[in-house]
A and B are shown apart, each in its own frame.
Chain A
Amino acid sequence: MIGIRGLSKRFGKKVVLDGLDLTVPKGKNTVVIGGSGTGKSVLIKCVVGLLRSEGGEILIDGEDLTKMDERELVRVRRKFGMLFQGSALFDSLDVGDNVAFALRRLKLYPERQIRDVVEEKLSMVGLRDIQRLMPAELSGGMKKRVGLARAIASEPDIMLYDEPTTGLDPIMADVINDLIISLRESLGVTSITITHDMASAYKIADFIAMLYKGKIVEVGTPAEIRGSANPVVRQFVEGRAQGPITAENEEFLRFVRRSGGAEGKEEGR
């Protein structure tokens, strides 16, 4: 189980997470939804210790990750597998070496078994006989699946998916959705997925949490979220341009234009 209490993170003066609370039940997939630039990626990067938070706690099986030093973090990170938005395959290594990366670093298998283990992991994501290909030779969907195979290779207890369906065609997106569901069912992993793809969220989620202004404003099952009375959640899941989220945004834009500052450069994520 993952318990996040009062998590805060800021970059300079910009507060991204503002006392965020979220409980992620064991063996379930919790999907965090929210607009671009609301700090979804920051949230999961804090959970895996890639970013250090300024306040609050992150409990992983009862251990507080925010209090750990680098050495302890390395140990706890072994419980995690992460699928990155752009797959983040190492482009100097071929597919086989990418998937085998953690297996070799952690010496989980003797070298002569590695190829077979890698082939097995690749078959779990529906790929075969591509170990010798370089990442540059793969399509976006294949990269995602190789990234997934690499993430599950060391058999993590917790999976983090950073926008798993972004940039894929609808069919490939659904293939990834099915993979995420089957991993949860076959390996029993706890997972956090962040996405703004509502079709994917409804399909893979056990619970959906809406991130807005640095806080989780609502958590519920997909059915509960679909019928939510919260106007912010309603606007987002229904994908409407008019509503409380954009109203504030427009006020901000007007303010920027008035003060003449063209520095409204948005943070990447």
Chain B
Amino acid sequence: MAETTPRNGFSRAAERLGERVYVMVQDLGAIFTLFLQFLSWVARPPSEIRNIIKQMEEVGVRSLPVVLVTATFTGMVLALQSYSGFQRFQATSFVGSVVALSITRELGPVFAGLMVSGRVGAAMAAELGTMKVTEQIDALITLATNPVKYLVVPRVVAATLVLPVLVVFADLVGILGGYFVSVYLLGSNPYVYVAKTYQYLEFKDIYTGLIKASVFGMLIALISCHHGFVAAGGAEGVGRATTRAVVASSMMVLISDYFMTSFMF
């Protein structure tokens, strides 16, 4: 008995791991298929412009407050931390550059992406999941409407277009947050701070951040729609789909961020 238990435990763990990997690969395949379907429907008439605008409001306007708060505090904490680091070798005048570069290249897009994953990803998965388990998706099909066209296209288009806009705001308030902490709390010279912010910031830093944001938006919407579509088993199933959507899209934001950064360096 004592001999067999650990082996059983190990093989069960291996089995569970294998199952997880299998499900993950299956999900990735399904999400890619959904992406292909999205491409085939996005340009076909009738245009879903009204739905797209509605989703843009949902993804953009409604997420703006949370993205602004996150970005402000990120800029502020960044100023504090880099000040304490640079102070050790008398380079505190570079705080402005570090804040600006970190926010535009990395933290603005990533934090906006994570916030939107949580807020919008959950909402999309819950809404589509509820539609699935209450047969509303079947009803769409019987009413001559393709669910990918009617539900996925507007969400993916809206998220792809709106996330970069959110990130522009995030970049602005992040840099401002850093400025206020540096100038009013840490006593940096405001002119030097602004000059250093501009000195090393290139246009490329900003637009690569915005491209990332666009990709994040698309991934979040695709992943969340997928998890909504495959929801099954009533309210509990919808809850599960929502959790999965948030976890998967947050992870994908971070994973894709690494690869995009390594390509666009």
Contact = CB atoms under 8 A, between A and B. Distances in A.
B142 A82 contact: yes
B140 to A, nearest CB: 8
Contacts of A45: 138
Nearest to B138: A50
A89 B139 CA distance: 8
A106 interface: yes
Given A50-B141, A101-B143, A102-B144, 9 more contacts: A48-B142, A84-B138, A90-B131, A92-B127, A102-B145, A105-B46, A150-B143, A151-B142, A268-B233
Contacts of B144: 74, 77-78, 102, 105-106, 154
A267 to B, nearest CB: 11
Contacts of A50: 138, 141-142
Contact of A82 (B139, B145, B233): B139
**Can you list the 3 inter-chain pairs with the closest CB atoms, starting with the nearest?**
A88-B139, A88-B135, A102-B143
A161 interface: no
Contacts of B136: 88-91
A37 interface: no
A80 B142 contact: yes
A105 B145 contact: yes
A210 to B, nearest CB: 25
A243 interface: no
Contacts of A91: 130, 136
Q: How many A residues are at the interface, by size bracket?
A: 20 to 34
A38 interface: no
Contacts of B233: 268
Interface residues of B, number: 17
Given A78-B144, A102-B144, A106-B144, A90 B135 contact: no
Interface in B110-152: 127, 130-131, 134-136, 138-146
A105 B142 contact: no
B135 A77 contact: no
B135 A85 contact: yes
23 contacts: A45-B138, A48-B142, A49-B141, A74-B146, A77-B141, A82-B138, A86-B135, A88-B135, A88-B138, A89-B136, A89-B139, A90-B131, A90-B136, A90-B139, A90-B140, A91-B130, A102-B143, A105-B143, A105-B145, A150-B139, A150-B143, A151-B142, A268-B233
Tell me if A's interface is mostly helix, strand, loop or mixed: loop
A214 interface: no
A222 interface: no
B142 A86 contact: no
A96 interface: no
Interface in A230-269: 268
A86 B142 CA distance: 15
B44 to A, nearest CB: 12
Nearest to A265: B233
A101 to B, nearest CB: 5
A262 B135 CA distance: 28
B46, B130, B144 — most chain A CB neighbours (10 Å)? B144
A105 B44 CA distance: 13
Nearest to A107: B46
A101 B145 contact: yes
Nearest to A48: B142
B139 A77 contact: no
Contacts of B131: 90
A102 B141 CA distance: 10
A86 B136 CA distance: 9
A78 B141 CA distance: 10
Interface string A76-118: 0110111011101111100000000110011000000000000
Contacts of A150: 139, 143
Contacts of B140: 90
B46, B136, B142, B145 — most chain A CB neighbours (10 Å)? B142
Interface in B134-188: 134-136, 138-146
Nearest to B150: A105
Contacts of A90: 131, 136, 139-140
A48 B142 CA distance: 8
A166 to B, nearest CB: 13
A223 to B, nearest CB: 33
Nearest to B234: A268
Interface in B72-115: none
A45 B142 CA distance: 10
B168 to A, nearest CB: 29
A201 to B, nearest CB: 22
Nearest to B146: A74
